[in-house]
Chain A
Amino acid sequence: MHITRKLVAALAVATALTLPAMAQSTITAPGQSTSGTYMDYMKTVYDRATFAELLQVPIATFDKEFELTPMAAESWSQSEDGLTWSFKLRDGLVWSDGEPLTAEDYVFALQRAATTGYDFAWYWDFAGGIKGWKEVTEGTADVSTLGLEAVDDLTIEVTTTAPKPYLPSVTSLWYPVPKHKVDELGDDWALNVDTIVSSGPFEIESWEKSNNSVVFTKSESYTGPWQAQVDRLEVDPSLGAPEVGLPAFLAGDADYSFLNTGQVPVAMAADPDGIRRNAVFATSYLSYDLESEPFNNVDVRRAFYHAVDRDELTSTVLRDIAIPAGSILPPGYPGYNPDVVGQATFDPEKAQQFMADAGYPNGEGFPEIEIWIREEGGYNGAIVPAMAQYLQAELGEHLGITVSIRQLPGADWMDGLRGAKNNIFIAPYEYDYLDPSNFYGIFYDGGRHNYHVDEYDALVAQADSESDWDTRYALYAQAEQVMIDQGLIVPLVHPITTAIISSELGGEATEPNSLGFTPLDRLGHYFFTHLTK
């Protein structure tokens, strides 16, 4: 053989041998919670294992512009009376063990959730409005009465108690459960890597339970939209704290890291091109016990509403980590209304007048109050305590009252809120699904706050089932007007998260959306499938 040909042949063999190794791309990402129980979103949401949802394919999900995109479903339609939705699944979807993925797996997921005690059960009652959900979860009706049916292998029918025009967006959190595995192993199928099966763009390779870190690999069997573009994805929740994540990122051990307040300027100086900001669909607000002194007086609540200088707050103590909130809805969220936002003005004179009207001129005679805040991690950890101290000073200065702060662990704080063990709280809330009913629902008829305000409840109930979107948004705006007029809450700030990403990362998911924000792993399915390295 000619020497050149030999060389070419040798090179070709060498290239063929090394290509697979070179093409192996691994992304190391921070996770959120260092403990997780089941690798099954439909078993537990609050205690789920790291990115359990990435293993399964939802009916639909959101892209970075928050456009709803069909995933397992090919299409959907609503009946004329608005009460029944029909979802048509894609043909050819399978579980990673080769079993076909069918409508039955989706229906079973919710039937099990309704009967076995699911920490996210409220969502399917209140967001999904599925017929019979409340009765079945309370044990007063049989699971067969649920408004869910697998008409055939590829068709799911959902019947709701009232028209739910936004039901398709609710299905972004509807993942299948492998019925064949549950029949064989019960819920324990989701406890060990050996028995976990997946239906989505990733499969599981390993799971270290001591810190809930998980290694995912690109699924070879997934045929639906949004296939993974990287071979391996290592998610380590111990990188979630910026204090650990950033040094690891700088040492080359992580591909991106979230930043705390002090780190933002350092990271900006080190690599301005790598900085990504995101407005989280979340709001921190003041809420009260409406039944007890002094907050059973609407004038007191109105005074608080006008006593907060949100612009100063977000340009000083919360600089780079929050923006002012004038509504419970964050900017960019469906139904966001600038007219509502415009009313949340800082007006100390008006606030003082309200206090005088309430019988507390210059704060005289006003009882000492204690704001209860929750121990927070993540973005709220930097925002809430600093904001509480700011409010303490502001309310003292403008209203002449004495405020103290008490920080409690999550369970104790929630216990205090639900049981009205205190009269004022700073409450943060992050959306669960992309519809105004999510945020307005937390104050609806007992919801999260034990609020029962008839006028508000009537408007929210009406808006919830209104199928004309303009009318719907108008009704929600009226509901928020009731909140403002009665001073039910004081919207304070919306959080901003900042991250630094490696220049080795590419793909659509690393580029900002049209609002200039990069949601990163807040949109897990979109992010991890539109990422390259």
Chain B
Amino acid sequence: MLGYILRRLVSVAFTFIAVSLIIFLMMHAVPGGPFDANDMPVSEAVRAKLMAQLGLDQPLYVQYLKYMWGVLHFDFGVPYQSPGESVLQLLSRAWVPSLVLGGLGVLIGAPLGILLGMAAALNRNSWIDYLASAVATIGLTIPVFVTSMLLILVFAVWLKWLPASGWPNPERWILPIIAYAAIPVATYARYTRSAMLDTMSRPFVTVLRAKGLSERRIVFQHVLRNSAIPLVTVFLPMFIGTATGSIFVEAMFRVPGLGAYFVSSIETRDYPLEMALMLMITFMYCIAYLLSDIVYALINPRIRVGGAE
């Protein structure tokens, strides 16, 4: 197991280098630079000065090596969009609201989705099942900015129960958390339902019933555990996707989070921040899949990581 983890970590390092190279080259292959979107072009002399200030006058390979050398020392540079702080300071500041809202969205949404999926599987073809399917379909198909708009319209503008948007006080978090939770609820409801139905049709469940185990014990101790693999596969990537912020939810609810930086760093050619965000996401996904693999082995002894046996 330990050897396997070490081997995986080495492959993470290679993935990291490959991604960094691809992102760096793509970033610089896109035409234009940090000062090219202005309404009036700057003169060559002024442009040269501005580019030199950002170190963009050096050859590309020098820029890449310097940046990656910095990364090895946890120095991701200074974002062009916010020169008063380092990229790490920016991430640690802007990530908090995204982590709070997106994280809570998943942590609340996933159990709700599991419950909904269980209820649907246990009451197959009943109204509960149809309701769960409807909720899941709506949650997955309506874009989040439409859901957000509807939530604001109903709860803030018409009913006036909650504030429309904003960040600092917790009553302003409720609507964005609901918006964030829609996808985990829907995804989990669907996965749980189909995984449980699949498990319940297996012969061992019939054997358990024949042995006289209570239905509750069968469901919670055996069926749920055997249905957990797909749920684990989905959970960590979904958590990363949501807890790093959504540009739509954050824009609609005026959340000062990380989501918008994914777009603005590309639009404004903010190279240090763009690289840092991509490397961060790559790293998190690599680790998430590694953790998922380990968890598989823990919840299902039939799975052996490492493949040697």
- State the A residues within 8 Å of B (CB): 34-35, 37-38, 46-47, 116-119, 121-123, 125, 134, 137-139, 188, 191-192, 208-211, 213, 236, 238-239, 241, 243-244, 247-248, 250-251, 253, 409-412, 414-416, 418, 429-430, 432, 442, 447-448
Q: List 26 A-B contacts (CB under 8 A).
A: A34-B260, A35-B81, A35-B264, A37-B80, A37-B83, A46-B37, A46-B39, A47-B268, A121-B43, A122-B42, A191-B84, A209-B84, A210-B93, A210-B97, A211-B256, A211-B260, A243-B149, A247-B156, A247-B157, A247-B164, A251-B164, A409-B37, A410-B37, A411-B36, A414-B41, A448-B40
Known contacts: A35-B264, A253-B166. The answer to whether A119 contacts B84 by CB under 8 A is no
Q: CB < 8 Å: which of B37, B52, B251, B268 contacts A244?
A: B251
Which residues of A lie under 8 Å from residue B102 when comparing CB positions? Answer: none
Q: CB < 8 Å: which of B39, B160, B268 contacts A251?
A: B160
Complex CA distance for A430 and B36, rounded to whole angstroms: 17
Which residues of A lie under 8 Å from residue B49 when comparing CB positions? Answer: 116-117, 139
* Contact in complex: B164, A248 (CB < 8 Å): yes
- Nearest CB on A from B174, distance (A): 14
* Contact in complex: B269, A411 (CB < 8 Å): yes
* Contact in complex: B36, A414 (CB < 8 Å): yes
Is B153 in the interface zone, CB < 8 Å from A? yes
Which residues of A lie under 8 Å from residue B164 when comparing CB positions? Answer: 247-248, 250-251, 253
Is B53 in the interface zone, CB < 8 Å from A? yes
* Contact in complex: A191, B260 (CB < 8 Å): no
Stretch at the interface among B3-11, B27-35, B135-143, B197-205: B27-35
Residue of B with least CB distance to A118: B46
* Contact in complex: A119, B42 (CB < 8 Å): yes
Known contacts: A34-B260, A253-B165. The answer to whether A188 contacts B93 by CB under 8 A is no
Complex CA distance for A248 and B149, rounded to whole angstroms: 11
The dominant DSSP class at the A interface is: mixed
Given contacts A46-B37, A210-B256, A409-B37, 9 further A-B contacts (CB under 8 A): A35-B82, A119-B50, A137-B43, A138-B45, A210-B93, A210-B97, A210-B260, A238-B165, A429-B39
Is B152 in the interface zone, CB < 8 Å from A? yes
* Contact in complex: B32, A415 (CB < 8 Å): yes
* Contact in complex: B83, A38 (CB < 8 Å): yes
- Nearest CB on B from A427, distance (A): 9
* Contact in complex: A253, B38 (CB < 8 Å): no
Complex CA distance for A209 and B82, rounded to whole angstroms: 8
Is B257 in the interface zone, CB < 8 Å from A? yes
Residue of A with least CB distance to B254: A238
* Contact in complex: B256, A414 (CB < 8 Å): no
Is B195 in the interface zone, CB < 8 Å from A? no
Is B171 in the interface zone, CB < 8 Å from A? no
Is B252 in the interface zone, CB < 8 Å from A? yes
* Contact in complex: A251, B32 (CB < 8 Å): no
